[in-house]
A and B are shown apart, each in its own frame.
Chain A
């Protein structure tokens, strides 16, 4: 199996993708590309993730939803190996990420892409060079081929004409599309999207949603979509998880989530101000506080 996989890596991209995505060929592969098993993560004494278990299926768009600060971005950083869990296992393509040494971790990262909330474009490089950056760093392509690869990636996000612009000249939506072109420049097996819709106008949102879906179906890329935007996330995802208090509190297809009767899921999906997640931050009694007459 290992040899098959090694040989598949050497094949041209188009064929390789078919073979590598074929779960029968990939070593020890199951339908799950990413697996969290009972993961705990602490910041100081505070548990961000507390016994979280979930699986991300191959070739699908999986949404991970939850309130702000519930540990969604932490989850992506655990997958990317930028953070290590306090306990539990994080498996990507059957490999335990926290156990990897730096070289293997970097090799794994070449096969995964991450789209940051603000794009994280390199501000001293123009659009073309930003997309070319990972290719220049990892592959030795002749300049004409590199140019064509970059233009193809930019064309895929509709920004071939913007190749000479600097990041400061781009709108928020355009910056995110350039970042997306950069993310797919090494043809990753999966892409993680960190709040891809935040701060965008409806048109840009629609463009990003369309791109996520197209990249998923067209290139067979597994997509992990972290978002608190219920409507947009549900519209393009195949499966959704809802995270709260460091655990999975609801999961299912977007339709199942919309119809869920669980209080915590309902509060989030309907955007209710009060419910299992309280409106008020814990405080002593209001009257006592006022009558005390001084700050404690």
Chain B
């Protein structure tokens, strides 16, 4: 195909896809109003996408914090500022690494699972079956998952940051001999709740919306065959990761001056 035509087709297809995804989101958001009365469905999904993702988040948070402790100490020690290690670790985690790494892990663990689950429900006619039982799958299946993703992501990101700080402390104070009082007091005075922690939480809420939206949309749009579901799962991880990284750049530029 002529490269220009290929480019045109690619752009048109992408915009059409974005349009479909936006309409889908609108439908899901309007369908989620009814969840006020069925909050148990959301709780079940918070367990599935949140609690079951905890292990990978805790372990990753610990190791990222420990690496930050090691790398940060050696660099700061060159300038005689090793006491600021706590501040460096905490700021890196709450502003950037917490929300971003959590979102990437969430996309890989929970996002792919959501896409595969919804795709397979479509392939095995479970969604069609619900429709024929006069149950709207958007309200019953999709909306609780989207809401659960939005609730779970900031909680996971906060936990990632908290465990990361402990990991940094373990290495910095426990292994490398940074003064414990300096470690915590520098962190306390240098990290602003509004500027740093809240902005980090806002980031993770945005990532929660985007990653879960991509995951449920890809599942719902997937071709109902084993190959189709596998491709959709693949797309979820790729698109979510790219969207998280791009949005992180934009939000960082807007939030931190």
**Which of B134-142, B145-153, B175-183 lines the interface with chain A?**
B134-142
The size of the chain A interface, using a CB distance under 8 A, is 23
Question: Is B195 on the interface with A (CB-CB < 8 A)?
Answer: no
**Which of A14-22, A117-125, A228-236 lines the interface with chain B?**
A117-125
A120 to B136, CA, bound (A): 15
Question: Which one, A110, A116, A123, A179, contacts B134 given CB within 8 A?
Answer: A110
Interface string of B173-191 (1 = CB under 8 A from A): 0000000000000000000
Question: Which one, B128, B131, B132, B140, contacts A137 given CB within 8 A?
Answer: B140
A33: chain B residues at CB < 8 Å are none
Interface residues of B in 110-152 (CB under 8 A from A): 121, 124-126, 128-129, 131-136, 140
Shortest A123–chain B CB gap in Å is: 7
**A interface list, Cβ under 8 A from B:** 80, 82, 106-107, 109-110, 112-114, 116-118, 120-123, 133-134, 137-138, 179, 182, 186
* Apart from A123-B124, A137-B140, A138-B135: 13 A-B pairs, beta carbons within 8 A: A82-B131, A82-B132, A107-B134, A110-B133, A114-B129, A116-B128, A120-B125, A122-B129, A133-B135, A134-B134, A137-B133, A137-B135, A182-B133
Chain B residue at minimal CB-CB distance from A76? B132
Q: How many contacts A-B (CB < 8 Å)?
A: 51
Contact B140 A113 (CB under 8 A): no
**B interface list, Cβ under 8 A from A:** 121, 124-126, 128-129, 131-136, 140
A112: chain B residues at CB < 8 Å are 132
Contact A116 B129 (CB under 8 A): yes
A137 to B131, CA, bound (A): 12
Shortest A37–chain B CB gap in Å is: 23
Q: Can you list 26 A-B contacts (CB < 8 A)? A: A80-B131, A80-B132, A82-B128, A82-B132, A107-B134, A109-B133, A110-B133, A112-B132, A113-B132, A114-B132, A116-B125, A116-B128, A118-B124, A120-B124, A120-B128, A121-B126, A122-B129, A123-B126, A134-B133, A134-B134, A137-B133, A137-B140, A138-B134, A179-B129, A182-B133, A186-B133
